[in-house]
Structure 1
Amino acid sequence: MTTSVTVTPIRVASLLVGEDERLPVFVHLIDHPDGRILVDTGLTALHPAFADMDPQLVPLTDHADVDLDSITAIVNTHLHFDHCGGNHLFPGRPIYVQRAELEDARTQEDYTIREWVDAPGVEYTPVDGELELLPGVRLVPAPGHTRGSQIVVVETGERPIVIAGDTAVWFGELDAPTTEGQRLIRSLDPQQVWLAHATEPWPA
């Protein structure tokens, strides 16, 4: 795969965890010669379900340097609220998610915010297992955080770059992996792993 593929993190929110710690929320934009893929869509609105997390939003629509119309496909690593809240910004464009994840988001109580999952105009392309989305860009199931979590593996010609969503929430979970998804990431021997809630890629 050519090294002309780039991954750009975009900070779209922060959430309060614990008494005084704020967790950043990032989505990731893959620029590929054959298209632009957005991995997760973050948050665009407040909701009573997570008001106690004191969300501070910088939604994708506020990023003047991000041309939403140029994005050709969206990937949801999973469908928790802080990963799918901007799906409605892309009506009619394919949103790739593991079928098991979509089923759980639509049927399990207290899993996510369902009206965000199935917002008007949102069109999912359910995936069963691995899928090559563009040459050198693969979706790979990575269970652990949720049953239907997936990662995006970007081949670079050497060691791959991985966009992990919440397969690991902090670096320690990759330093000492315990879930199937975390062990999968380590088995790929990646040069970089981008997490949804970390400013820099692992390994730091």
Structure 2
Amino acid sequence: MTTITVTRHLVADLLAGDERMPVNVHVIDHPEARILIDTGVRDIHPMAADMDPRLYPFDIDPDSIDIVVNTHLHFDHCGNNHLFAGRPIYVQRRELEDARSIADYTIPEWVDPPGVSYRIIEGEHQLLPGIRLLPAPGHSDGLQIVVIESGAHPTIVGGDVAVWFGELDEPASEGQMLVRALEPELVWLTHVNEPWHRR
């Protein structure tokens, strides 16, 4: 069995109501490539000022990353895409179209910084042996999750397929129901520091 590991990196936090909500990105180390899932928040931007972002050091060496996957293109998931110009960045076609066309969807210049080009996919995509991208609509129509085949039950890096564990305990969206149907062992989320565990 090939060893594939997931490492969480805290890159920011945001004000959500009266609480601070972490913003994590995840690095997947695969024997064939190092993959970054989402890129976090770039700087303090007027469009995100109401969430009072606090930034932490971005401690991932861009040169160490071979592939980037954006689960979706809200500002807290694509802010550092500019650091990965020249590397493949995988996104669902629906997500990219929405990010480029819907007002106030995201921060447009973070989606299309100079030098960034996307690998646009539609539907399921085999990224590497043992790693698939699957559409998981709900939080956004074009959201995708990363499924790591790691034994009897997969590990999932889900971005905002759920914002907190309760949304996986009682799934409501198409994406959340897909995650539960896959019977994962662990699900890593952007806004929670520890993974959700299968019960």
Structure 1 length as normaliser, TM-score?
Answer: 0.95
Equivalent in the alignment of 1:11: 10
1:25 is aligned to 2:61: no
Q: CA deviation at 1:54?
A: 1.3
1:56 partnered with 2:54: yes
Alignment match, 1:37:
35
Matches for 1:1-204 after TM superposition, within 5 Å? 1-2=1-2, 4-19=3-18, 21-60=19-58, 63=59, 66-203=60-197
SS in 1 for 2:167: helix
Contact 1:171 1:203 in 2 (8 A): no
Taking the aligned partners of 2:120 and 2:184, their CA distance within structure 1 comes to 26
Q: CA deviation at 1:59?
A: 4.3
- Runs (4+) of structure 1 exceeding 2 A deviation are none
SS at match of 2:47: helix
Task: Report the RMSD for the aligned CA atoms in angstroms.
Answer: 1.0
Q: Distance in 1 between matches of 2:43 and 2:55?
A: 8
**Secondary structure of residue in 2 paired with 1:165:** coil
In 1, Cα distance between equivalents of 2:183 and 2:103: 36
Which amino acid in structure 1 is aligned with residue 96 of structure 2?
Answer: L
* Aligned residues between the structures: 198
| Aligned residues of 1:42 and 1:59 also touching (Cα < 8 A) | no
Q: Which consecutive residues of structure 2, in runs of 5 or more, have no partner in the other structure?
A: none
- The alpha-carbon deviation at position 158 of structure 1 amounts to 1.9
- Amino acid aligned to 1:18: G
Q: Once the 2 structures are TM-superposed, how far is the Cα of residue 157 of structure 1 from its aligned partner?
A: 2.2
In structure 1, distance between residues paired with 2:145 and 2:131: 10
User: Taking structure 2 as the reference length, what is the TM-score of the superposition?
Assistant: 0.97
